[in-house]
Structure formats: C-alpha cells, structure tokens
Amino acid sequence: MSIPLPRLIVLASRILTREGILDSFGHVSARNPERPDRFFLSRARAAGLVDEADILELDLTGAPVTETPHRLFAERVIHAAIYTARPDVQAVCHHHAPQMLPFCNAGIELVPVFHLGATMGPKVPFWDSRDEFGDTNLLVSTPEQGASMAKALGPNWTLLLRRHGVTTAGRSVPELVFRTIYGSRNAEAQLATMQIGTISPLTPGEAALAEEFNLKPIALDRAWEQWQRGVESA
C-alpha cells in the first residue's frame, strides 16, 4: 500500500467517522518514518472534515515543527507520549466511541469475545486520571498526564480512559484502523452478550492466534479496501 501518510491519516479519519467512532472530537496521527521523533496530526478540526492541507508535523513535545496560525488539539500530548514511550508504534487514535464508553465508565474489563475482536489486543488496561491528577476537565492535555497515560497503555494496543474515552495504537495506519474498529465491535458484542447471558472470552492462545491472523494482509487488506472505497465513493 503506497498511499502518502497525510492521505492515509485523512482516509483513516473519515473511515472512523463513518464507523461512528470519531465525531466532532477524536483524532488520528502517524509517526514520520523519516523522522521517528516527529509525527503527523491534523489541526484542531472534526475528523470527518480533515483534509491533507490540515495535516501538521509535530515533535514529541507536541509542538508544531513549523509555525502555524491554526488551533491545535489540546490532547495532542496523547500522541506525543505514546510515540515517546513506544518505538514500535507508528499510528495512534484517540476517540470517545459510544460503543466503548460503558466499559470506560463502569470499569468493566473489555475481553476478546470473538476472533476479530482479538485485534484490540489480548489485554485492555484502564487509566484513571483521578489517580494522579485528581479533579481535572478530563482532557489529557499536559505532558505529565500524557506520560502517565502512555505508561498505563504499557505494551498493549488499546487503553480505556475512565469516564472519558479510548486510546488505540498500531504498527501502521491500516492496522490502527482495524484494531480500533474491531475493538469497538468487540465492545458492542460483549455488552450485548452480557445482556442475554455470560460472556465466553477467547482463551489467551486463541486471542493471540486470531490477532496475528487478522492483522495479516489476507484479512487487513480486504477490510481496508472496502473501508477506503466507502469513504472515497461517499
């Protein structure tokens, strides 16, 4: 897939908007492979409206590399902190998907309940801003908050922020989108299952095998082609 990174970020933003995961809030970024200490993120704008011209390059403090008159996302430190803590991560999304919010609020653990859901990662930890920062406006907006959140993510791919939303990571933009969409669908399936019975999660072995398989081109490329076509023909 040889799509330039700014275009990939635009596509991912529109795909995740179409899925109901991003709305006026939430954002997608990608690390600059030429400069691993920099990443691309749009100016503060709703994801469904983001275009290539909105994409800015930021450093790992969250500062724009080139001066800009545009407003920046308050939560850009989320991206900076994860790229700092996780050299293997190439793309990050922060969102407030309604499918995930019941778990963020109740503090009930998300577990893989079907094979595609395993791509959210076998373990989905929590981060609670109250633990270290007490009363805040809930936004992750200081470097200290970003670092604390990235530490809670640890080696995992999906993190639930109590009473706030979700941060997801991937080794590429399409992988990030796959993990984000199927993490949300897993949340829907888990919640629906809990209403009619008892959840039966994948075993750790099943989750690892399913995660590995579904992120291979045979599954990932098929999904991405359809998602891309969906936003390009819209």
Least distance (Å) between residue 138 CB and Mn ion: 7
Alpha-carbon distance of 64 to 194, in angstroms, equals: 44
Smaller CB distance to Mn ion: residue 26 or 121?
26
User: Would you call 75 a catalytic residue per the annotation?
Assistant: yes
Cβ–Cβ < 8 Å for 170, 154? no
How many residues touch Mn ion under the rule CB under 5 A: the total is 1
Smaller CB distance to Mn ion: residue 6 or 165?
165
Smaller CB distance to Mn ion: residue 5 or 93?
93
Least distance (Å) between residue 164 CB and Mn ion: 6
Least distance (Å) between residue 139 CB and Mn ion: 6
Cβ–Cβ < 8 Å for 112, 118? yes
Integer-rounded Cα Rg, in Å, for the chain is 17
Cβ–Cβ < 8 Å for 112, 210? yes
Least distance (Å) between residue 94 CB and Mn ion: 6
Cβ–Cβ < 8 Å for 182, 188? no
Per-residue DSSP letters for 157-218? SEEEETTTEEEEEESSHHHHHHHHHHHHHHHHHHHHHHHHS---PPPHHHHHHHHHHHTSHH
Can you say how many angstroms the Cα of residue 181 is from the centroid of all Cα atoms in its chain? 9
Least distance (Å) between residue 137 CB and Mn ion: 10
Interaction of residue 6 with Mn ion, rule CB under 5 A: no
Pick the stretch among 108-116, 126-134, 164-172, 185-193 that binds Mn ion (CB under 5 A).
Answer: 164-172
Return the closest-CA partner of residue 26 out of 13, 10, 39.
Answer: 13
**Which residue, judged by CB position, is nearest to Mn ion in the bound state?**
165
Interaction of residue 165 with Mn ion, rule CB under 5 A: yes
Number of other CB atoms surrounding residue 217 within 10 Å: 10
Interaction of residue 146 with Mn ion, rule CB under 5 A: no
Smaller CB distance to Mn ion: residue 104 or 118?
104
Give me the catalytic one of 52, 67, 75, 225: 75
Smaller CB distance to Mn ion: residue 112 or 165?
165
Contact set with Mn ion (CB under 5 A) = 165
Q: Name the residues annotated as catalytic.
A: 75
